[in-house]
């Protein structure tokens, strides 16, 4: 299946939303800075929910195109962990060189646990605050992988209804079990992504629309902030535009670039960004200039991570661990490796 550029645009938009929230709102809340700029982007606080919807769509799509559970696990691990490990090392290095505000003095055990991505289960602090959202992703991957292995994905509609009812009962206090491990706070966004996939590629019936709308109302009920009455319908409407082919107008090079660096940008931007804002403000006492400069530097850092670290490492891991794929996929991986090596050789010869 060809790559959906609109999803890259949405990823970039979600990452930018979260980053702007942290830089224009959260930074000033954390450090109790009085001369807060007049502009802020509180709505970016909900960019993570858009990420979850994208994940629901992509994971369900991936499960339609894998041969077995081992392939699914390896592909997800290679997609998530290399960039994550690299970003942890960069954050730790910068934390050691510069004084990052509110950074914890992590023990060796806590650092090692952070490399697993499951540190939240054991209430071990995250090296960077944004890592919290990776655990709901892992829980969702585990659930979907289990359903795939048991051949239960054909019953996804029944599973969705049971899951949504469980979320509502849990929020109501009538069935207060499993909130953490069953994603009862954010599972409706993953579910919505699944049924948007059905609507786009499987000519979903009216029941798929009804489940999507149920996901929206459940999200508003379970996560009852006033802003959610605005933001959540916007995210769902955006996905309806996507499945209707209306987001292709936004396939612009800058937005696609932002989507291509969205994962490391998300992982790197918070603590390092706070340090940059604090440092730059001592020389340029204008928060608009400082936030703009910090954002541009984070774009550059994320791009460097993708180009020179994450891409070659991921290609190596794919070649090593996914060698039993079908020949066309294996040929593509080998071609990518050869292209990467040839491109690097050309750049060094200049």
111 touches 127 (CB < 8 A): yes
75 is written with which tokens?
Answer: 């592909």
Q: Give the model's confidence band at 45: pLDDT under 50 very low, under 70 low, under 90 confident, else very high.
A: confident
- 38-42, 195-199, 228-232, 284-288 — which one is most confidently predicted on average? 195-199
- Which has the minimum average pLDDT: 30-34, 284-288, 301-305, 346-350? 346-350
What local confidence, expressed as pLDDT, does residue 198 receive? 96
pTM: 0.91
E strands, the chain, in order? none
The per-residue pLDDT for range 58-108, each reduced to its tens digit, is 999 999 999 999 999 999 999 999 999 999 999 999 988 877 655 668 899
Statement: residue 157 has pLDDT above 70: yes
Statement: residue 277 has pLDDT above 90: yes
To the nearest whole percent, how much of the chain has pLDDT over 90?
A: 77
Any alpha helices (H) in 26-118, and if so which ranges?
27-30, 47-63, 69-97, 108-114
To the nearest whole percent, how much of the chain has pLDDT over 70?
A: 90
Q: Give the model's confidence band at 346: pLDDT under 50 very low, under 70 low, under 90 confident, else very high.
A: very low
Q: For residues 108 and 59, give the distance between their C-alpha atoms in angstroms, rounded to a whole number.
A: 33
Rounded to 5 degrees, φ, ψ at 116 are -80, -25
What local confidence, expressed as pLDDT, does residue 327 receive? 41
The per-residue pLDDT for range 171-203, each reduced to its tens digit, is 999 988 888 899 999 999 999 999 999 999 988
Sign of CA dihedral 325, 76, 267, 248: positive
What local confidence, expressed as pLDDT, does residue 34 receive? 77
Q: Give the model's confidence band at 339: pLDDT under 50 very low, under 70 low, under 90 confident, else very high.
A: low
What local confidence, expressed as pLDDT, does residue 36 receive? 75
- Which has the minimum average pLDDT: 45-49, 115-119, 184-188, 294-298? 45-49
Q: Angle 262-281/287-305 helices, nearest 10 degrees?
A: 140
What local confidence, expressed as pLDDT, does residue 325 receive? 62
Sign of CA dihedral 229, 230, 231, 236: positive
Q: What share of the chain is helix, strand, coil (3-state, %, to 5)?
A: 75, 0, 25
């Amino acid at each position: 299946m060809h790559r959906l550029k609109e999803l890259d645009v949405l990823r970039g938009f979600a990452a930018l939303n979260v980053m702007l929230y942290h830089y224009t709102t959260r930074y000033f809340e954390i450090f109790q800075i009085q001369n807060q700029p007049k502009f802020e982007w509180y709505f970016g606080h909900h960019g993570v929910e858009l990420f979850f919807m994208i994940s629901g769509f992509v994971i369900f799509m991936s499960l339609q195109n894998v041969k077995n559970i081992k392939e699914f696990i390896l592909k997800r691990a290679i997609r998530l962990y290399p960039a994550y490990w690299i970003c942890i090392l960069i954050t730790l290095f910068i934390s050691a060189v510069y004084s990052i505000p509110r950074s914890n003095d992590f023990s060796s055990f806590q650092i090692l646990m952070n490399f697993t991505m499951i540190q939240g289960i054991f209430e071990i602090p995250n090296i960077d605050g944004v890592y919290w959202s990776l655990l709901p992703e892992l829980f969702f991957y585990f659930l979907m992988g289990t359903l795939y292995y048991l051949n239960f994905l054909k019953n996804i509609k029944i599973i969705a209804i049971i899951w949504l009812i469980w979320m509502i009962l849990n929020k109501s206090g009538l069935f207060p079990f499993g909130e953490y491990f069953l994603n009862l706070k954010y599972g409706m966004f993953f579910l919505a992504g699944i049924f948007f996939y059905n609507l786009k590629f499987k000519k979903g019936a009216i029941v798929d629309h009804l489940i999507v709308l149920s996901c929206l109302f459940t999200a508003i009920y379970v996560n009852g902030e006033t802003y959610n009455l605005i933001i959540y319908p916007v995210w769902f409407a955006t996905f309806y535009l996507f499945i209707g082919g209306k987001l292709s107008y936004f396939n612009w090079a800058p937005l696609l670039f932002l989507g291509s660096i969205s994962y490391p940008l998300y992982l790197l931007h918070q603590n390092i960004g706070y340090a940059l804002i604090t440092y730059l403000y001592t020389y340029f006492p204008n928060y608009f200039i400082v936030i703009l400069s910090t954002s541009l530097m984070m774009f550059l850092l994320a791009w460097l991570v993708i180009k020179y670290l994450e891409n070659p490492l991921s290609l190596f891991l794919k070649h090593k661990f996914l060698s039993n794929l079908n020949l066309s996929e294996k040929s593509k991986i080998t071609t990518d490796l050869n292209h990467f090596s040839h491109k690097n050789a050309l750049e060094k010869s200049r």
